[in-house]
Structure 1
């Protein structure tokens, strides 16, 4: 199947399966989303959602969080992993938001990426899900599916993001990012599919017999 046909099929099928795209991380505003996404690094969304109620009961805005000690933050977020780094980042980025932005999360990719603990993927999630700005956050899971579906040969998430942005309409990026995540969890997980099992893999590559090896992100 030509790539153009694969792209159209994937776009249409994912829209059929997931016409609504609720954000997996519980939050109430851009700041709480930013913190939740930061916590989700190398941690499941489910675990983050278990931890954030206690964290946001302690402080749910930059002004209050900036006044908390790193140790108090770390004690709450420990189950998410990487708590020494994450607790320092949350406390310091809260201070910066207060000092530079009057406590408001900036609607600017470069400004977000300058915050402690906020990389390109985290900034992209906040821009797309908090502010509705088209972005295509790519993690290792999206990277894996994009390779299985023949959408990229990228050896890293940076190249995969560029390829996906080139292939799909800009106005589909925000929904599609979430739709691919949902599909991967439900049908095309790392262990549940090897590129030959799920519906989309089989439709895009009906003659594929061997497992599709994924280049590391």
Structure 2
């Protein structure tokens, strides 16, 4: 079976976004707009790099991606998705077998419990479908706010929030988009500073840039297409 292709299309407190253009001075607004424009030029096709065909696939892959890499998860899900096609398949899975199938993604015991629990709640409460609201989706075991934002944005095109992973956190600091340290606070800043219709793209593009150029230890500032807009250029 060939690898799945990618498609793009609050019971817990959520960050509150300001109006899309925020309450910033003209210089700050111009800098933010310039960053977003540069991201479009650099990464016009930026998208989630997890392989998936259905919203369920993407949910499972995103749960597995915690403390793992997309490349590793894609290796695992190539076979996993051929065996588990529905929420009921995960709900009825043998935990020991599932643990072995996902072992290489790390934290496999907890992840196996989460996948089975996810299958159960999707089957029993949502007729086997992945819900389209962040309140409902964050009730799924293993699906915290970041996971929910990935699934809603990538599978359904719903800008429920701004995905904040380790790359987005690092770039938000370096680009001066947020001085916060907690993911939910960083998300709130990004939601306030970046127009809502750019949230999905900008998150993917920042992740791509973090993986390819703006590395944690040795950022390639000399080859960075955002250097002219970065207060930390050259570190």
User: Is residue 11 from structure 1 mapped to residue 31 from structure 2 by the alignment?
Assistant: no
For residue 6 of structure 1, report the CA deviation from its aligned partner.
2.0
Give the unaligned 5+ runs of structure 2: 1-25
- Name the structure 2 match of 1:130: 155
Report the Cα offset of residue 57 of structure 1. 2.0
> 1:147 is matched with which residue?
173
| CA spacing shift, 1:206–1:114, aligned 2, 3 Å | closer
Which of 85, 88, 107 is the matching residue for 1:82? 107
**Per the alignment, do residues 158 and 149 of structure 1 end up closer, same or farther by CA in structure 2, a change over 3 Å counting?**
same
CA distance in 2, matches of 1:7, 1:206: 12
TM-score by length of 1: 0.90
Tell me, which stretches of 5 or more residues in structure 1 are unaligned? 212-217
Whether contact under 8 Å (1:26, 1:33) holds in the other structure is yes
Q: Which residue of 2 aligns with 1:164?
A: 190
For 1:19 and 1:109, how far apart are their aligned partners in 2?
27
The 3 A distance-change label for structure 1 pair 147 and 207 is closer
Deviation, 1:132, is 0.6
- 2:64–2:111 Cα contact (<8 Å) kept: yes
User: 93, 111, 123: which is aligned to 2:118?
Assistant: 93
Match of 1:71 in 2: 96
How much has 1:141 moved relative to structure 2? 1.2
Distance 1:33 1:205, change over 3 A: closer
Q: Work out the CA distance in 2 between the residues paired with 1:186 and 1:147.
A: 17
Residues 18 and 200 (structure 1), Cα distance of their counterparts in 2 relative to 1, 3 Å cut: closer
Contact 1:97 1:105 in 2 (8 A): yes
Which structure 2 residues correspond to residues 15-94 of structure 1 after superposition, within 5 A?
Answer: 15-94=40-119
Contact 2:171 2:214 in 1 (8 A): yes
**More displaced stretch, 55-64 vs 167-176:** 55-64
Higher RCO by CA contacts (8 Å cutoff, separation 6 or greater): 2
Per-residue CA deviations over 1:112-138 (Å, capped at 9, x if unaligned) read 111111101001111101111013111
Distance 1:5 1:60, change over 3 A: same
What displacement does 1:202 show? 3.2
Q: CA RMSD in A?
A: 1.9
Which SS does the other structure have where 1:190 is aligned?
coil
